[in-house]
Amino acid sequence: MDSAYQLLEVAAKTWPDRPALVDGYGTMTYHELFEQTETLKARLLRTGLSKGLGLAVMGSNGRAFVAGMLAGMGCGAVVVPLSHQLKLAEISQILLDTGVHAVLDDQSGIVPTQGDSGFIPFSEQTLRFTWISTAPRQALTPLPDAAFIRYTSGTTGNSKGVVLTHRRILARVENASTALQLDCHDAVLWILPMAFHFLVSILVYIRVGAKIIVCKDILAATLIKDANQEGATLLYAAPMHFRLLAADTSGVQMPALKVAISTSSAIPPAIAEAFTRRFSVPVAQAYGIIEAGLPLLDSLTGQADPHSVGFPTAGFNVAVLDDDYLPVPEGQIGRLAISGPGLFDAYLKPWQTADQVLQHGWFMAGDIAQCRDDGRIIICGREKAMINVSGNKAFPEEIEAVLNAHPDIAACRVFGQTHPLLGEVVCAEMVMAHQATWDVEALLQFCRQRLSTYKVPQRLQRVTQISHTASGKVKR
């Protein structure tokens, strides 16, 4: 197999009549999805889209986004996924940074760019195709096999364009397929934005012939209804989705559900435990990162530990290193390092190949972690988000997990602020639960009982909402 596009072609030949995707337009089989994508690919080729050119694909979750991404790759273009929820300034910056030549969108968001537009029918929808420039069109990257560029979430700094070739994509899809243990009888309840999770998640489900159930909203009642109507066996979601489901009081179960995986950010153990009590399914954590794919996954056999992102998946090596790139003693914290199949090929701007970025063969993930004696990896926090209190290291994620365990707190964000004597102090913003009382001293006492003194927030602020990135991570 030479192209990621062939994943759909093989699936259509192997499971032609099995449902590939269920969305607001109904159910589409693998044969139907392939035929519609082939037609879309032919139309894109007729517009002049060709090998090496850049195509931004913007849309909401559903068949059009999946087909647009695959059709673009099938043309030999380099596809750049865009969420339909991005603001115009964000879209414009990505289009400028990447230098893509055209945009394909499903008209579910704002008009992404001005230019020479045409319209392409697809299934029950009409897609808009826009050439950004009529200037001479050169290949988007120096890599002849480039297929995909995605921008990192940018939670703690500038976002970077991660470039992947078809070869790298196929390698990480194979790895993740083995790790997730799915087959054609599985049905995935899909909530996360496809624009941020197309690799490897959506392509893995296509690789194994699973059914993708696209939920129209994230209300617990909707998720439970869709899961039961379509027989969902896997829930792959972010911590906020597990929080919503755990809080559901309807008593309706999801009997077909076998596996629940939390990703995007650390799930507070209290939320994982509440979900398990409510639905009798343990929550395993997965560590996904666009530069590597799915290098870490906790046990899917019922022995999951909500404090951990689990063990290295097949083919990956994971280490916890000090600043000299040497392993730290077991149980001590250090910098998370990854090597394995499907590592990214390059950063787009400024152009850096993976070989130029890797340190002693390791990709430094930007996370602080520790390795337990059983081999499980614990993520302590992001290097850039770490709060230095008089030389003591405090990690927002750890403090947020404690605050989120308080029954009166619906959501929170922890961050550092400069201090003339201590260097930095811990601060927290909190969204209170409905009808909860704002009692600062009680909240601080709760923290003092569970955290070292230097980790206890020095400044508390009540807010109405916590900002998240489009991929579901708290904005730092």
Q: What is the DSSP string of 359-419?
A: BTTBEEEEEEEEE-TTS-EEEEEETTT-EEETTEEE-HHHHHHHHHTSTTEEEEEEEEEEE
Structural domain count, the chain: 3
Q: Are residues 50 and 119 in the same domain?
A: yes
Q: What pLDDT score was predicted for residue 155?
A: 40
pTM: 0.84
- Burial category of 307 from C-beta neighbours within 10 Å (exposed 0-12, middle 13-18, buried 19 and up): middle
Q: Are residues 289 and 275 in the same domain?
A: yes
CB atoms within 10 A of CB 281: 17
CB atoms within 10 A of CB 153: 19
CA 217 to chain centroid: 17
Q: Are residues 369 and 274 in the same domain?
A: yes
Look at residue 192 and tell me if it is in a domain: no
> Which of 335, 362, 382 is where one domain is finished?
382
Look at residue 203 and tell me if it is in a domain: no
The torsion angles phi and psi of 124, rounded to 5 degrees, stand at -95, 5
Q: Are residues 155 and 239 in the same domain?
A: no
The range of the structural domain enclosing residue 120 comes to 5-167
> Which of 344, 363, 382 is where one domain is finished?
382
pLDDT in single tens digits along all 476 residues of the chain: 899 999 999 999 999 999 999 999 999 999 999 999 999 999 999 999 999 999 999 999 999 999 999 999 999 999 999 989 888 888 898 899 899 999 999 999 899 998 889 999 999 999 999 999 766 688 999 999 999 999 875 443 456 899 999 999 999 999 999 999 999 999 999 999 999 899 889 999 999 999 999 999 999 999 999 999 999 999 999 888 999 999 999 999 999 999 999 988 788 888 899 999 999 999 999 999 999 999 999 988 778 888 899 999 989 999 999 999 999 998 899 999 999 988 999 999 889 999 999 999 999 998 999 999 889 999 888 888 888 887 777 888 889 989 999 999 999 999 999 887 788 899 999 999 988 999 999 999 999 999 988 899 999 999 999 987 766 677 76
Q: Are residues 395 and 368 in the same domain?
A: no
Look at residue 365 and tell me if it is in a domain: yes
Domain at 76, CATH number: 3.40.50.12780
> Which of 167, 186, 203 is where one domain is finished?
167
Q: Are residues 77 and 156 in the same domain?
A: yes
Q: Are residues 357 and 282 in the same domain?
A: yes
Domain at 441, CATH number: 3.30.300.30
Q: Are residues 343 and 267 in the same domain?
A: yes
- Residues whose CB falls within 8 Å of the CB of residue 433, separated by 6 or more in sequence, listed in order: 407, 408, 409, 410
Q: Say if CB 10 and CB 1 are below 8 A apart.
A: yes
Q: Say if CB 378 and CB 341 are below 8 A apart.
A: no
Look at residue 190 and tell me if it is in a domain: no
Q: Are residues 152 and 280 in the same domain?
A: no
Cα–Cα distance measured from residue 357 to residue 260, given in angstroms and rounded to the nearest whole number: 34
Look at residue 207 and tell me if it is in a domain: no
Q: What pLDDT score was predicted for residue 159?
A: 64
Q: What pLDDT score was predicted for residue 156?
A: 39
Q: Are residues 93 and 241 in the same domain?
A: no
Q: Say if CB 414 and CB 426 are below 8 A apart.
A: yes
CA 118 to chain centroid: 31
Q: What pLDDT score was predicted for residue 395?
A: 84
Cα–Cα distance measured from residue 195 to residue 335, given in angstroms and rounded to the nearest whole number: 28
Q: Are residues 14 and 64 in the same domain?
A: yes
Q: Are residues 136 and 9 in the same domain?
A: yes
The two three-digit tokens of residue 214, written as one number: 């696209």
